[in-house]
């Protein structure tokens, strides 16, 4: 029985390289040539491993969401309180105003802005990604409520959705070039509203 030729590249590294291209350029303006060059693949290796640009994007997008939400989950476990976690995450994004990588924005929200609801496949990916981030924030809010730093009568899911929305807006402002002091002022107001 033939299993085909073994892969002569690292699929995880290729996926990471493709994710960076999509994150930098967006889906529509990323060409197959851009992807092949970044991933170091031939067309045949690309199609054999990833099937299509859309299939590759879905894998990159899911990888991004699980990577980001996984980092958030780890940070929550390491935080001394739910409130500290929320505060630290938002200040870290505000600090990104100094970072070229953070000025790319968020792949999730960039994709939502690029597609809106025009493509049901992409809209489903975006919805799933938002739920990943909201789940971590909901856990942090519930923890903060049990610790007495957020009013226990407030709906934790509604606050989690508010935090995802606020994070999206903050990342967009960082991408737009707001200064470090402006982004930290925004964070102070977000935290006050909790």
The number of CA neighbours under 13 Å toward the Cβ of 181 is 0
Read off the pLDDT of residues 8-53 as tens digits, 9 standing for 90 and up.
678 889 999 999 999 999 999 999 999 999 999 999 889 988 999 9
- Examine the pLDDT at 159 and tell me if it is beyond 90: yes
Q: Which two tokens stand for residue 6?
A: 């073994």
Q: What domains does the chain contain, in order, with CATH numbers?
A: 62-192 (1.10.357.10)
Read off the pLDDT of residues 89-128 as tens digits, 9 standing for 90 and up.
999 999 875 555 556 788 998 898 888 788 888 899 999 9
- The answer to whether the predicted template modeling score (pTM) of the entire model surpasses 0.95 is no
């Amino acid at each position: 029985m033939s299993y085909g030729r073994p892969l002569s590249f690292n699929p995880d590294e290729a996926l990471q390289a493709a994710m960076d291209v999509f994150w930098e350029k967006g889906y529509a303006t990323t060409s197959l040539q851009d992807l092949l060059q970044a991933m170091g693949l031939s067309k045949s290796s690309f199609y054999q491993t990833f099937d299509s640009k859309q299939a590759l994007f879905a894998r990159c997008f899911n990888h991004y969401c699980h990577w980001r939400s996984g980092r958030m989950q780890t940070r929550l476990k390491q935080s001394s309180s739910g409130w500290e976690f929320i505060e630290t995450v938002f200040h870290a994004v505000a600090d990104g105003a100094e970072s070229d990588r953070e000025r790319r924005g968020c792949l999730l929200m960039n994709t939502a802005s690029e597609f809106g609801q025009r493509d049901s496949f992409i809209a489903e990916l975006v919805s799933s990604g938002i739920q990943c981030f909201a789940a971590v924030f909901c856990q942090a809010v519930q923890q903060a409520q049990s610790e007495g730093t957020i009013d226990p009568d407030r709906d934790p899911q509604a606050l989690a959705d508010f935090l995802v929305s606020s994070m999206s807006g903050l990342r967009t402002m960082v991408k737009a070039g707001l200064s470090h002091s402006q982004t930290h002022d925004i964070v102070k107001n977000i935290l006050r509203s909790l």
